């Protein structure tokens, strides 16, 4: 029987598969990954950050991710790679704390105001 249905290769629990950084979600409410946002930005060429909400409603839920969406827009305009400043786990943890407290109190949101 095992010859007909060979045992699939085991996954190594010690080395879990790393997620592609572009698959990390920038908007956790609407599951918008960095990759989706990158493609949206490159296709639509938004002139202001608020237009990023047209990408699967990003930023219109709890609004915690709005500073990060603004940062991504700023990075794109500067020709820089779009990324998040923290790990996905920390990002989700901080957003959870924000939602529990109901108060935005995160040093990561102290991103300089937009120049335009």
Site residues (vs ligand FES, CB under 6 A): 27-29, 59-65, 95
> 11 or 60, CB closer to ligand FES?
60
Q: In whole angstroms, how close is the CB of 66 to ligand FES at the nearest point? A: 7
Q: In whole angstroms, how close is the CB of 11 to ligand FES at the nearest point? A: 30
Sign of the CA dihedral with 31 first, then 93, 95, and 38 last: negative
> 76 or 84, CB closer to ligand FES?
84
> 39 or 99, CB closer to ligand FES?
99
> 27 or 82, CB closer to ligand FES?
27
CA distance 102 to 84: 22
Contact in structure between 62 and 98 (CB atoms under 8 Å): yes
Please list the residues that pair with 27 across neighbouring strands.
32
Q: In whole angstroms, how close is the CB of 69 to ligand FES at the nearest point? A: 8
Helix locations, the chain, DSSP H? 34-44, 66-77, 88-101
Q: In whole angstroms, how close is the CB of 74 to ligand FES at the nearest point? A: 17
- The 3-state DSSP class for residue 33 equals strand
């Amino acid at each position: 029987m095992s010859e007909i249905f060979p045992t699939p290769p085991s996954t190594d629990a010690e080395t879990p598969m790393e997620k592609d950084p572009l698959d990390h979600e920038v908007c956790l409410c609407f599951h918008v990954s960095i990759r989706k946002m990158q493609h949206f930005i490159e296709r639509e060429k938004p002139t202001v950050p608020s237009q990023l909400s047209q990408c699967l409603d990003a930023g219109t839920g709890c609004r915690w991710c709005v500073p990060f969406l603004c940062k991504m827009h700023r990075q794109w305009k500067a020709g820089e790679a779009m990324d998040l400043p923290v790990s996905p786990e920390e990002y989700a943890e901080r957003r959870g704390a924000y939602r529990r407290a109901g108060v935005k109190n995160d040093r990561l949101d102290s991103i300089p105001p937009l120049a335009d």
